[in-house]
Chain A
Amino acid sequence: MKLFRIRGGVHPDPRKDATREKTIVDAPISAVLHLPLQQHIGAPARPVVKVGDHVLKGQVIAEAAGPVSATVHASTSGAVAAIGPVPVPHASGLAAPAITLAPDGKDTWAEPMPPLPDDAEPAAIAARVAAAGIVGLGGATFPSAVKLNLRERHKLTTLVMNGAECEPFLTCDDRLMREHAEEVAAGVALMARALGVGRTLIAIETNKPEATAAMTEAAALHPGIDVAPVPTRYPMGSEKHLVHTLTGLETPARALTADIGVVVHNIATAFAVYEAVKLGRPLVSRVVTVSGGAVAEPKNLRAVLGTPISDLIALCGGLTAEPQEILSGGPMMGQPLRSTDIPTVKGMNGILALLPSDTRRGPAHACLRCGTCVTACPCGLLPLEIAANIRNGNFDAAVSAGLMDCIGCGSCAYACPSRIPLVQSFHYAKGHIAAEQRVKQHNEEAKRLAQQKAIRQEKLAAERKAMMEKKKAAAAAARAAQEGTAEP
């Protein structure tokens, strides 16, 4: 198959050997499970249970609120112990609302949803995916049903299944494809049917030959689905770049891949779709790679949602040393965590406990203008120039130099010999600009309201004046009439 070359990218040390041969192991149910109401992009789900309710595994405990939202299901049977804020996987370390379950230890499933037939209507498949609370499991966590319904607004030709898994350390998708190739392929076929596309490509980086072989065999049963080995180069898993590599089509800035007829879904999402459609099971668990230099025995664990990550790390023999950083996700784009006292959520594909030798953090030096970041950037940006503008407080210049086109992949900062925290600088600037816009919007709104009030008051005053004059005139007329009657 002909592939198209994209610019930039880096070759980070893959570090996948620690877990790539580790079979997925089921993690036992923890003593307490916290299920955040927002494990997806969009509006938080709305709780439909009360404290004290007994729930079964797979039962809806919070339903999607609005078109872009996702339902949350009980991930085991037990009692609703609390509904309130708990620490969640977010860099801020702030708490967010969640439903806390006290498992009863029986792990009893609720009545499954009825399986859908192979010739189910596309809309029925999408509806089932929504009912199952499935979101993009590669980490993006966008509600999958919304993406499966893109056929309504876009002329779609191709489904790209992202099995690139370009982040170092992570092997959860690799293992899923190797151990559950048939289920994944069946899920892919269902998604292709929901989208109404004629062509489906399963993209797998060339460093996963076993997964490629397994998926090729499984995909042979489904016409129109092909496996496409793609070069091992970060960020191959970036949606727009993966589509470009496979099809040669470039997604315009600020547009979606759907605008060029392509939809991208993650391979783990396909497995969840299979379980939802064919087994009637909602999304209550996921595969998490637990790895990093500080983890005693790195593993791939299938954990029910809500499992505290401290339990997952303990299942891997605990930590051998104080980690420099604990991450949710891969080392390139993962989120640093402030504590291990947080639950496993839908988008969590990895828990990494990294040592200084993994992060290779060090002192920053002055920018040499060496251009390494320019060569590394997959988006054709000049990271050094954007960062210099940000440093000088010149945010407008940073934006016109392409700040908003940055996908935050971190290739520039990874390659920078002066270790300049480029991504941090871009995040800071984006946050600053967003805050500025909020203030601006707020001020404009206040100004508009003040103006309206002034207009309103003027009108009122005018009305009052008119009324007074009318009254005065009426009084004068009455007086005149009275005088008139008195005169003769």
Chain B
Amino acid sequence: MNPRPFVAGPFAHAGRTTPMIMSWVMIALTPATVFGLGLFGWPAIYLFAVTVASAVVFEAACLLLAKKPVLATLGDGSAILSGWILALTLPPWAPWWIGAAGAFLAIVIGKQVFGGLGQNLFNPAMVARVALLVSFPLEMTRYLAPRPIFFSGAPGPRDGLAITFGFGGHVDMDALTSASTLGHVKTELARGLPLHSVLADGADLLGLLFGTTPGSLGETSALLLLAGGILLLALRLITWHIPAALLLGILLPSSVLHLVAPDRYLSPAVHALAASTLFGAFFIATDLVTSPVTRTGQMIFGAGCGFLIFVIRTWGGYPEGMAFAVLLMNAAAPLIDRWVRPRIYGRDRKGRPLAVKTRETR
């Protein structure tokens, strides 16, 4: 028999691997993605394709520069997933260079400069989203009412090229845009109007639930995002700790303030269903790399995200705060991991061995 290389056990494996995790997250994102692409038509499809493809290209370029194995590393699927998540947070008719620049920010600045997968401190997609929002506020806030593909009024493949790439004509985006629910509320409240007149017909909760309101490419349908999240939970790819804590972090303070002053503060239902709440709770804050590793740490992290989202939405300068909240908590995650550690078996919390004492058993 040939001599075998020395390896230590175990000589068994659970079978779940990193590429599989990435694939399952993509599968969980598919319903909301397909819905979003259909809802916003060809320009959204082009933008999505540009963003994901750019992410892969930038990843490959970085790996080449770093002299790392390109195909093996691309095979982990993380670049596709980062690009995918980023695309879902973009305004659906944003120009192509927003997607490409976003992919650069996410993959190169957000991930590879830290040393690649697993080394990044911040969620790559959220780094890109915040950088884009700050740098290109106009392009990043041009939301529009849904124009489902194949319906009248929807842009065809060629109109889409014009919208996304600027080929063959100019589209006056300003004439088309309308504000997202949270954006509208923020603007009107700032003018001093009470909520009941801002949302004269009440908030369009059903619209938020089914995703027929203006919003980012893949964030509109709370129901489909929830379905994806439940799939991830059922497969135990994520645990309930971060999503539940995040939702509680939003719902508790918003419920209290809504009860106290319903005319100034949005109801918890709007908070829960609007914009990126569920997307963030299930797909962004749960990012394995940038969240704490212990269950308790994850709950602190989730609650912090939720509370910051609420604070930014309510008192901050932006109508939506998911990306900022997640980045702030990403920065806190190493600290949380430093403080919240499991107790080592046979030792006390400070790491000293437990006292030896012979006790009577029952």
Asked if chains A and B come from one complex, the reply is: yes
Contact partner of A417 (CB less than 8 A), chosen from B1, B21, B289, is B21
B18 touches A405 (CB 8 A): no
**B136: min CB distance to chain A, Å:** 31
Give A365's nearest chain B residue, CB to CB. B18
What 0/1 pattern do residues 1 to 35 of B give for CB contact below 8 A with A? 10110111111111111111100000000000000
- B65 CB within 8 Å of chain A: no
Within 8 Å CB of A245, what residues of B? none
Give B116's nearest chain A residue, CB to CB. A366
A253 touches B8 (CB 8 A): no
Known: A368-B117, A371-B293. A421 touches B8 (CB 8 A): yes
A374 touches B356 (CB 8 A): no
**A166: min CB distance to chain B, Å:** 12
**B1: min CB distance to chain A, Å:** 6
Segment at the interface with B among A215-223, A332-340, A478-486:
A332-340
Most-contacted residue by chain B among A154, A247, A365 (CB, 10 A): A365
Known: A374-B342, A424-B8. A252 touches B293 (CB 8 A): no
- A369 CB within 8 Å of chain B: yes
- A115 CB within 8 Å of chain B: no
Segment at the interface with A among B222-230, B244-252, B346-354:
B346-354
A331 touches B4 (CB 8 A): no
Contact partner of B14 (CB less than 8 A), chosen from A10, A241, A262, is A10
Segment at the interface with B among A18-26, A67-75, A376-384:
A376-384
Known: A367-B118, A405-B344, A417-B21. A359 touches B13 (CB 8 A): yes
Give B21's nearest chain A residue, CB to CB. A417
- A97 CB within 8 Å of chain B: no
B353 touches A252 (CB 8 A): yes
- B67 CB within 8 Å of chain A: no
Contact partner of B361 (CB less than 8 A), chosen from A93, A247, A354, A413, is A247
What CA separation (Å) do A252 and B10 show in the bound complex? 26
- A147 CB within 8 Å of chain B: no
B360 touches A157 (CB 8 A): yes
Contact partner of B358 (CB less than 8 A), chosen from A199, A259, A332, A379, is A259
What CA separation (Å) do A17 and B222 show in the bound complex? 46
- A107 CB within 8 Å of chain B: no
Most-contacted residue by chain B among A199, A371, A413, A419 (CB, 10 A): A371
What CA separation (Å) do A240 and B8 show in the bound complex? 22
- B119 CB within 8 Å of chain A: yes
B288 touches A369 (CB 8 A): yes
Contact partner of A359 (CB less than 8 A), chosen from B12, B14, B116, B345, is B12
A419 touches B17 (CB 8 A): yes
- A363 CB within 8 Å of chain B: yes
Q: Determine the main DSSP class of A at the interface with B.
A: loop
What CA separation (Å) do A368 and B119 show in the bound complex? 8
Contact partner of A378 (CB less than 8 A), chosen from B9, B17, B341, B345, is B345
B12 touches A252 (CB 8 A): no
Give B356's nearest chain A residue, CB to CB. A259
What CA separation (Å) do A154 and B358 show in the bound complex? 9
What CA separation (Å) do A249 and B354 show in the bound complex? 11
B359 touches A413 (CB 8 A): no
Interface size band for B:
35 or more
Known: A7-B342, A250-B345, A340-B1. A363 touches B72 (CB 8 A): yes
Known: A158-B361, A261-B358. A380 touches B10 (CB 8 A): no
A369 touches B361 (CB 8 A): no
Give A341's nearest chain B residue, CB to CB. B1
- A410 CB within 8 Å of chain B: yes
What CA separation (Å) do A327 and B4 show in the bound complex? 12
Give A381's nearest chain B residue, CB to CB. B344
Give A241's nearest chain B residue, CB to CB. B345
- B187 CB within 8 Å of chain A: no
- A182 CB within 8 Å of chain B: no
Contact partner of B10 (CB less than 8 A), chosen from A155, A199, A338, A413, is A413
B12 touches A366 (CB 8 A): no
A334 touches B361 (CB 8 A): no
- B159 CB within 8 Å of chain A: no
- A474 CB within 8 Å of chain B: no
Within 8 Å CB of A93, what residues of B? 3
B4 touches A368 (CB 8 A): no
B17 touches A260 (CB 8 A): no
Interface size band for A:
35 or more
What 0/1 pattern do residues 391 to 421 of A give for CB contact below 8 A with B? 0000000001010010000100111011101
What CA separation (Å) do A373 and B12 show in the bound complex? 15
Within 8 Å CB of A384, what residues of B? 293
- A179 CB within 8 Å of chain B: no
A residues 142-170 near B (Cβ < 8 Å) are 154-155, 157-158, 168
B354 touches A253 (CB 8 A): yes
Contact partner of A405 (CB less than 8 A), chosen from B116, B291, B345, B359, is B345
B12 touches A168 (CB 8 A): yes
- A48 CB within 8 Å of chain B: no
Within 8 Å CB of B197, what residues of A? none
B293 touches A382 (CB 8 A): yes
Contact partner of A419 (CB less than 8 A), chosen from B3, B13, B357, is B13
Within 8 Å CB of A423, what residues of B? 8-10
What CA separation (Å) do A417 and B290 show in the bound complex? 16
- A119 CB within 8 Å of chain B: no
B347 touches A371 (CB 8 A): no
- A362 CB within 8 Å of chain B: yes
- A325 CB within 8 Å of chain B: yes
B14 touches A415 (CB 8 A): yes
- A370 CB within 8 Å of chain B: yes
Known: A334-B9, A374-B293. A260 touches B344 (CB 8 A): no
- B294 CB within 8 Å of chain A: yes
B361 touches A336 (CB 8 A): no
B4 touches A325 (CB 8 A): yes
**B21: min CB distance to chain A, Å:** 6
What CA separation (Å) do A352 and B12 show in the bound complex? 12
Known: A154-B358, A368-B288. A379 touches B344 (CB 8 A): yes
Within 8 Å CB of A410, what residues of B? 9-10
B118 touches A414 (CB 8 A): no
What CA separation (Å) do A374 and B346 show in the bound complex? 16
Known: A154-B358, A367-B118, A414-B14. A424 touches B76 (CB 8 A): no
**A330: min CB distance to chain B, Å:** 9
Give A371's nearest chain B residue, CB to CB. B293
Within 8 Å CB of A361, what residues of B? 11, 13
Within 8 Å CB of B290, what residues of A? 369
**A334: min CB distance to chain B, Å:** 6
4 smallest CB-CB distances across A and B, nearest first, come from: A371-B293, A410-B10, A253-B346, A252-B354
List the interface of chain A (C-beta within 8 A of B): 7, 10, 12-13, 91-93, 154-155, 157-158, 168, 199, 240-241, 247, 249-255, 259-262, 325, 327, 331-334, 336, 338-340, 352, 354, 358-363, 365-371, 374-375, 377-382, 384, 400, 402, 405, 410, 413-415, 417-419, 421, 423-424, 427
What 4 additional pairs, Cβ within 8 angstroms, besides A253-B347, A359-B12, A379-B345?
A: A157-B360, A362-B17, A368-B289, A421-B8
9 contacts between A and B (CB under 8 A): A91-B6, A253-B353, A261-B359, A332-B9, A354-B11, A359-B12, A368-B289, A369-B118, A369-B293
